Structure 1
Amino acid sequence: MGFFQNKKQSMDYYCSKINNQISIDEAEVTARKFNNLDELKKIYFNLSIAYGKSKDYELSLHCIQKSLNIFSSIENTSYYVYAKSCEANCYVSLKQLDKAISIYKNLLKDIHIDKTTAYLYNNLACIYIEKGDYKNAETYNNKSYALRESSDKNSLSQTMKTKAYIYETKEMYDEAISILNNIISCDTGYDCSVKIDSYKMLISLYQKIKRYDLEKITMRDLKQYIISCRNFSSRISYYKIFINFVANNLKNILTLSNQK
């Protein structure tokens, strides 16, 4: 098999092997053959991601827990937090929200890095939204915002997007739209994927309030933004949105076109 130069190469390999019915045991035997526990940890991690993408959350959870069991302490903080977040995401997908919340709260006891703490706060806010507990969602969202505003402005848009989601689920559409427009209009500090997600949410909101004219304008703006990103994966993301947009709103598009 050999080992891999980077995480993407490794994940791509195991994603393809899952389609060919590779077993978890086979991956483990191969890594142990080379007496490489670090590689075994990565194999389980990448298998977990791949199974998650295949929506097999039980197997994804099983793999990430095996990855975490290889070491008993926080040897690598960034890896540990990300792996535990993957474990929490599995529980969210399995609708076991309290277990996910417990994972993040336990991490908060061990982690004392502002950027990481802000990330954990934001993830907790998202889970509380899923629970319909908007009071706790806003509490953790506000904590995340305060930390990111002072120590991690480049990630602030993630917390703002979560705030918009809180407003959307509470049907406070004007407030949600205002936040999303603020994210989109900012020229610096926000990565391409966050802005594209914000465009997606904005399009969805305009659909909900039946502002099809603004929906069409936003779709046009999204197209122009993605072209400016010059990012292939972002363009693929846009075309998926565009197909759904046309399929769901063909009548509105034709009506607006005829009004020109």
Structure 2
Amino acid sequence: MEFLTPGERVKKIRKMLKMKQRELQSENITRGFISMIEGNRTTMSRETASIIAEKFNKRAQELGIDLNIDGDYLLMTPAEEAEYYCIRKLNQITTIENLDELKGIFKIADEYKLKKVTALAYIKIGDVMYNNQNFQEAFINYHKALDILLLNDIKDQLPYVYNMLGASKAGLLEFSEAIMYFQKALEHAEEMNDIEIKIKASYNNALCYKCISKPAVSIDYIQKCLSVLDKEKDFEHYVYIKSIEANCYRDMKEYDKALEIFRGLVEEINDNNNPLLGFLYTNIGEVYMEKNDFEKSMEYFNEAEKIRRKEDKNLLSHTLIEKANLYIKMGLYKEARSLLEEGIEISYRNKDMEYIVKGSYLLVEVYKKLENKQAIIETYKKLANILQNMGNKKEALKVYIELTLLYIENNDMINAEYCLEKARAIVE
């Protein structure tokens, strides 16, 4: 890819538009001056560049060409044009299939010493991997970007990168480590006055503190998040944040407070087909389940399932798996197994790590009640495989240890040794 000096760029565009040098003339811009610009024997002022750009745009419009350039574009150095080109190309990359295009971007960035472009390229890989639920690869690439940003004192991307490092760790269910990155994201967002990352990192920290059983700390972060969130502009995010708050009260066994928050959110939704109702009804079902009011719990789970089967199939797995937990508590193991099998299948399809793990452990609990040891082994084997593929080594290690114990119990030393080798490989 060739990147031009300002003079070379003017000449190239002029020839592309089939214009003569004299057609670029105007007051204080002579044909001779244009010739000197194109020969790199003089430089343009911003005003001159803007006048020439306007003439180019006018001719392009006459020819039906979409040019739309400005003086700043004409004044770009080769390195600046290279950066401009690379950033435009990066914005076009959205899938794993076109990540190959990054090879050329890395090459250009290396040739012109564009450290920020290199960091943005690693961020792009991280984004694509994260969106494909490959959290370990996402983390690795975000960290490569972070190293470049810190080494070159490039601050504008730091809030985003720290937040995504935390999100990747949270995706791997490594919540304590995630919190450290979210805290750094908040610090840099404060410095850069990045409201969007303040909201996201506060929300993410709230969720992680809830997951490590620190509901009071979680509520503090929820309040920080709500203090900067515009409820009218981002109602969905508001619902999710308030739901974390409600679930914190549930964890503290303040069930009436939790139900009060959830019911208040339901009342704010006017559309009976809104997918958010499936989410809220599932949560209300969980609260009633913990209160041991199984009849009310089942009522809300059924409503949630009905809505999600129609409006929110990707998250149907959450409702099915939580509802299966209710069946387990009621001693209805065959019914629970049926829901879990469907819910886990959807979770595998969506690479939904949290519910793959939760559903699989519940299914193991069901198979224990049904005394189906082989089914337990098969469930653990499938779970271990996907945990390893998705980079969750800590959880995979736990599963291999459980498998080892099961094989020893069956006096199957060959498979027990195989699982121990797998566990050792993870530790090393």
- Normalised by the size of structure 1, how large is the TM-score? 0.76
1:13-162 superposed matches below 5 A: 34-71=192-229, 73-111=231-269, 112=271, 114-162=274-322
Structure 1 counterpart of 2:410, from 239, 253, 256: 253
Q: Compare relative contact order (CA 8 Å, sep 6+) and give the higher one, 1 or 2.
A: 1
Give the ranges of 4+ consecutive aligned residues of structure 1 lying more than 4 Å apart after TM superposition: 14-20, 30-39, 184-192, 255-258
- CA offset digits 1:36-60 (Å, max 9, x no partner): 5544434433432343344322111
Partner residue in 2 for 1:8: 164
Question: Counterparts of 1:17 and 1:169 in 2: how far apart (Å)?
Answer: 32
The letter of the residue matching 1:231 is M
Change (3 A) 1:246 1:99: farther
1:192-231 superposed matches below 5 A: 192-193=352-353, 194-223=355-384, 226=386, 230-231=389-390
Bigger radius of gyration: 2
Coordinate RMSD, CA, aligned = 3.7
Question: Counterparts of 1:158 and 1:187 in 2: how far apart (Å)?
Answer: 8
Displacement of 1:76 in angstroms is 0.6
* Contact 1:212-1:252 within 8 A present in 2 as well: no
Using the aligned pairs only, state the percent identity: 25
Q: Which moved more, 1:183-192 or 1:79-88?
A: 183-192
2:328 matches 1:168? yes
The 3-state SS of whatever aligns with 1:5 is helix
Displacement of 1:204 in angstroms is 1.7
Question: Counterparts of 1:89 and 1:187 in 2: how far apart (Å)?
Answer: 22
* Contact 2:383-2:399 within 8 A present in 1 as well: no
Question: Counterparts of 2:223 and 2:196 in 1: how far apart (Å)?
Answer: 15
Return 5+ residue gaps in structure 2 as ranges: 1-154, 170-174, 416-428
Change (3 A) 1:99 1:244: farther
The letter of the residue matching 2:164 is K
The 3-state SS of whatever aligns with 1:232 is coil
The letter of the residue matching 1:212 is K
Structure 2 counterpart of 1:242, from 400, 404, 420: 400
* Contact 2:381-2:403 within 8 A present in 1 as well: no
Change (3 A) 1:213 1:34: closer
| Paired positions, count | 248
* Contact 1:165-1:176 within 8 A present in 2 as well: yes
Question: Counterparts of 2:344 and 2:377 in 1: how far apart (Å)?
Answer: 16
Question: Counterparts of 1:17 and 1:114 in 2: how far apart (Å)?
Answer: 31
* Contact 2:178-2:208 within 8 A present in 1 as well: no
Question: Counterparts of 1:160 and 1:39 in 2: how far apart (Å)?
Answer: 32
- Normalised by the size of structure 2, how large is the TM-score? 0.49
The letter of the residue matching 1:4 is P
Q: Which moved more, 1:46-55 or 1:92-101?
A: 46-55
The letter of the residue matching 2:165 is Q
Displacement of 1:10 in angstroms is 5.8
Displacement of 1:94 in angstroms is 1.5
* Contact 1:48-1:63 within 8 A present in 2 as well: yes
The letter of the residue matching 1:216 is I
Partner residue in 2 for 1:181: 341
Question: Counterparts of 1:9 and 1:257 in 2: how far apart (Å)?
Answer: 39
The 3-state SS of whatever aligns with 2:159 is coil
The letter of the residue matching 1:114 is N
- CA offset digits 1:99-138 (Å, max 9, x no partner): 1111111111112362111111111111111111111111
The letter of the residue matching 2:221 is C
Question: Counterparts of 2:378 and 2:197 in 1: how far apart (Å)?
Answer: 48
The letter of the residue matching 1:237 is E
Question: Counterparts of 1:170 and 1:136 in 2: how far apart (Å)?
Answer: 13
